[in-house]
């Protein structure tokens, strides 16, 4: 009788037993089995075997792994595999985490204990320590680093950014930049700095930053940073520079004059520009972060008005929100039209209509000062500033909230009475800073790249273009000084391409 073929039983998905801790005999040894080449079913079998013998087995995502065991892989392959899994073991390969061949595992199972690691057990770690170093090389240019919003060094970057801010408040831009760069490098690391030696191969971390980092790693806090945080000048400068239209110079002068609070400004009848008056009037709202949904609501509101004024024109949300931030200090919007030249006159119409509808608490239009690419080339040749020449409107929107909480337009009736001091919301509306920028379509990718930020990312894009490529980049154009020609681009990707840079999406530009 012909035998029926036996249907192969499907392997259940691999999952390690729920509580391997119960019989752990070697707490200092945590195994991670690499399924690459080994296969999932063999991995499951070996894991169960090891656990029965009292070994702890965890996945590559665990920070506790000490022994990475694989079968038939080279050291390079295992490193690649760990990298793909974003395994925290990566940083400790060679010191703390061993990459081992299955021979160590089988010998240990036979011995019923972890046998001593001999050179023959090790995958070629030395050979690829170099490779690893190469892979982990961090660029000194933020535009060559991927910097997500979330990172592992919140405490360190916060401290360094306070130092950067304090230096900025004293007008020491060089020092400020140094601290800001050090923070930016830490933000890009996919691993965690735990000891001062970890900084060894990192660029842009000066002596002072290093000292502060060491203090925080050892004591959990930096006395220098805490002193600044508590200082009266720092607190006053923070308060004043948060007023819309007030820069470091003005704030510093006010502090020198003995002014300390917003009430002091009024009591002393301090001379304020129109912009600063509006800033003071709406201080509480404007120093409350704008949420992503508020930014989107404003974007939609502007989109509707723009569509009425110039059908086919578009409105794009840029700045921090395009980088994935959930809150920001303002809303940055780029307006353009697919036909170059059609955008001329658009901003005036849009602002007039929004003002009529009661959306604007303050606005100030700056006309387009862009002359021609030739003039621009003259001007941007050696410039690394972020100033651009687009037609632009600095404004404060009145964003109303309906009882349902859905942001919408504010009606005339709910507009604040500008003659009286308003400090904060009444709950029915909120003042929000909005920057509207108009760009001709041909310059749009440059404007989009320039306005998406972050500031560190932008600064280094320009620095990289100048020093590494002999090109000049700004929010209007890219000029190749060697070829004496402008390079056109229809997208951000093309600009990265012109600069021989790997494309970095907005969410990874949070340098
Ligand atoms: P922002 O100052 O709005 O920064 O400028 P942000 O990243 O959106 O931060 P929050 O969330 O609002 O606090 C956005 C980008 O626009 C550029 C800046 O370089 C920054 O990268 N920018 C700003 C200009 O190019 N020109 C300007 O006049 C202002
Ligand atoms: Mn912004």
Nearest-CA residue for ligand 1 atom 7 is 320
Question: Nearest ligand, CA of residue 453?
Answer: 1
Nearest-CA residue for ligand 1 atom 5 is 319
Choosing from 198, 304, 340, 435, which is the catalytic residue?
435
Helices (H), 18-172: 40-52, 75-84, 102-111, 125-136, 154-169
Nearest-CA residue for ligand 1 atom 9 is 320
pLDDT at 161: 98
Nearest-CA residue for ligand 1 atom 28 is 387
Q: Do 370 and 355 contact (CB within 8 A), yes or no? A: no
Would you give per-residue pLDDT tens digits along the chain (511 residues)? 444 444 444 444 444 544 555 578 999 999 999 998 898 999 999 999 999 999 999 999 999 999 999 999 988 889 888 988 888 888 788 778 999 999 999 999 999 999 999 989 999 865 445 545 544 589 999 999 999 999 999 999 999 999 999 999 999 999 999 999 999 999 999 999 999 999 999 999 999 999 999 999 999 999 999 999 999 999 999 999 999 999 999 999 999 999 999 999 999 999 999 999 999 999 999 999 999 999 999 999 999 999 999 999 999 999 999 999 999 999 999 999 999 999 999 999 999 999 999 999 999 999 887 766 666 666 655 554 557 889 999 999 999 844 333 344 444 444 444 433 343 445 589 999 999 999 999 999 999 999 999 999 999 999 999 999 999 999 999 999 999 999 999 999 999 999 999 999 999 999 9
Which of 165, 386, 492, when mutated, tests ligand 1's pocket best, judged by the most ligand atoms within 8 Å of its CB? 386
Which ligand 1 atom minimizes the distance to the CA of 451?
16
Burial class (CB in 10 A: 0-12, 13-18, 19+), 446: buried
Which of 291, 319, 391, when mutated, tests ligand 1's pocket best, judged by the most ligand atoms within 8 Å of its CB? 319
Nearest-CA residue for ligand 1 atom 16 is 451
pLDDT at 307: 98
pLDDT at 15: 46
Which of 316, 320, 462, when mutated, tests ligand 1's pocket best, judged by the most ligand atoms within 8 Å of its CB? 320
Choosing from 332, 340, 355, 480, which is the catalytic residue?
332
Question: Nearest ligand, CA of residue 451?
Answer: 1
Ordered domains of the chain (ranges, CATH): 22-121 (3.40.50.10190), 129-229 (1.10.150.110), 231-281 (1.10.150.20), 290-381+388-440 (3.30.460.10), 450-508 (3.30.210.10)
Structure tokens of 460?
Answer: 């280094």
Nearest one of 290, 325, 293 to 147, comparing CA atoms: 325
pLDDT at 437: 97
Which ligand 1 atom minimizes the distance to the CA of 327?
11
Catalytic-residue membership of 330: yes
Give the Cβ contact number of residue 108 at 10 Å: 24
139: CA distance to ligand 1 center in Å? 23
pLDDT at 410: 42
Nearest-CA residue for ligand 1 atom 10 is 328
Nearest-CA residue for ligand 1 atom 20 is 453
CA triplet 416, 419, 425: central angle to 5 degrees?
30
Catalytic-residue membership of 460: no
212: CA distance to ligand 1 center in Å? 28
444 membership: H or E segment, kind and range: helix 444-452
pTM, rounded to two decimals: 0.73
Question: Nearest ligand, CA of residue 384?
Answer: 1
Give the Cα separation of 425 and 285 in Å (integer): 6
Lining residues, ligand 1, CB within 6 Å: 319-320, 325, 328-330, 332, 386, 388, 450-451, 453-455, 458, 475
Choosing from 285, 330, 388, 460, which is the catalytic residue?
330
446: CA distance to ligand 1 center in Å? 14
Catalytic-residue membership of 375: no
Q: Do 503 and 493 contact (CB within 8 A), yes or no? A: yes
Which of 387, 451, 463, when mutated, tests ligand 1's pocket best, judged by the most ligand atoms within 8 Å of its CB? 451
Which ligand 1 atom minimizes the distance to the CA of 457?
21
Q: Do 330 and 432 contact (CB within 8 A), yes or no? A: yes
Q: Do 63 and 97 contact (CB within 8 A), yes or no? A: no
């Amino acid at each position: 009788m012909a035998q029926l073929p036996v249907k192969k039983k499907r392997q259940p998905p691999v999952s390690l037993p729920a509580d391997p801790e119960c019989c752990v005999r070697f707490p200092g040894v945590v195994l991670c089995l690499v399924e690459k080449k080994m296969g999932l079913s063999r991995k499951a079998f070996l894991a169960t075997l090891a656990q029965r013998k009292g070994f702890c087995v965890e996945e590559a995502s665990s920070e506790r792994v000490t022994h990475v065991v694989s079968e038939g892989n080279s050291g390079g392959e295992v490193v690649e595999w760990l990298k793909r899994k974003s395994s925290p073991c990566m940083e400790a390969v060679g010191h703390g985490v061993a990459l081992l061949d299955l021979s160590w595992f089988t010998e240990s199972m036979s011995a019923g204990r972890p046998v001593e690691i001999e050179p023959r057990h090790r995958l070629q770690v030395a050979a690829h320590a170099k490779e690893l170093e190469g892979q982990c090389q961090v660029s000194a240019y933020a535009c060559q680093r991927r910097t997500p919003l979330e990172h592992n060094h919140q405490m360190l970057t916060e401290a360094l950014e306070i130092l950067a801010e304090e230096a900025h408040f004293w007008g020491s831009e060089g020092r400020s930049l140094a601290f800001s760069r050090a923070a930016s490098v830490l933000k890009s690391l996919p691993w965690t700095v735990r000891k001062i030696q970890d900084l060894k191969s990192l660029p842009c971390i000066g002596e002072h930053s290093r000292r502060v980092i060491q203090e925080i790693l050892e004591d959990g806090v930096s006395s220098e940073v805490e002193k600044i945080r508590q200082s009266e000048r720092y607190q006053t400068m923070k308060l004043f520079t948060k007023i819309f239209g007030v820069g470091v110079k003005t704030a510093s002068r006010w502090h020198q004059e003995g002014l300390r609070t917003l009430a002091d400004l009024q009591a002393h009848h301090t001379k304020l520009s129109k912009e600063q008056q509006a800033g003071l009037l709406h201080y509480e709202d404007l120093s409350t972060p704008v949420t992503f949904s508020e930014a989107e609501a404003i974007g939609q509101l502007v989109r509707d008005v723009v569509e009425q004024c110039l059908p086919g024109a578009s409105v794009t949300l840029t700045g921090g929100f395009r980088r994935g931030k959930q809150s920001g200090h303002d809303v940055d919007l780029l307006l353009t039209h697919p036909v170059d030249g059609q955008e001329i006159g658009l901003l005036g119409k849009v602002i007039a209509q929004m003002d009529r509808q009661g959306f604007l608490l303050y606005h100030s239009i700056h006309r387009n000062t862009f002359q021609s690419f030739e003039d621009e080339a003259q001007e941007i040749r050696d410039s690394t500033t972020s100033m651009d020449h687009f037609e632009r409107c600095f404004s404060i929107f009145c964003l109303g909230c309906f009882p349902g909480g859905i942001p919408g337009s504010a009606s005339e009736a709910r507009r604040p009475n500008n003659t009286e001091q308003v400090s904060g919301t009444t709950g029915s509306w909120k003042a929000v800073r909005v920057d509207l920028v108009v760009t001709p379509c041909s310059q749009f990718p440059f404007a989009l790249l320039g306005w998406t930020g972050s500031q560190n990312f932008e600064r280094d894009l320009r620095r990289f273009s100048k020093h590494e490529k002999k090109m000049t980049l700004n929010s209007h154009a890219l000029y190749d000084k060697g070829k004496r020609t402008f390079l056109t681009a229809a997208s951000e990707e093309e600009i990265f391409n012109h600069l021989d840079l790997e494309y970095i999406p907005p969410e990874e530009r949070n340098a």
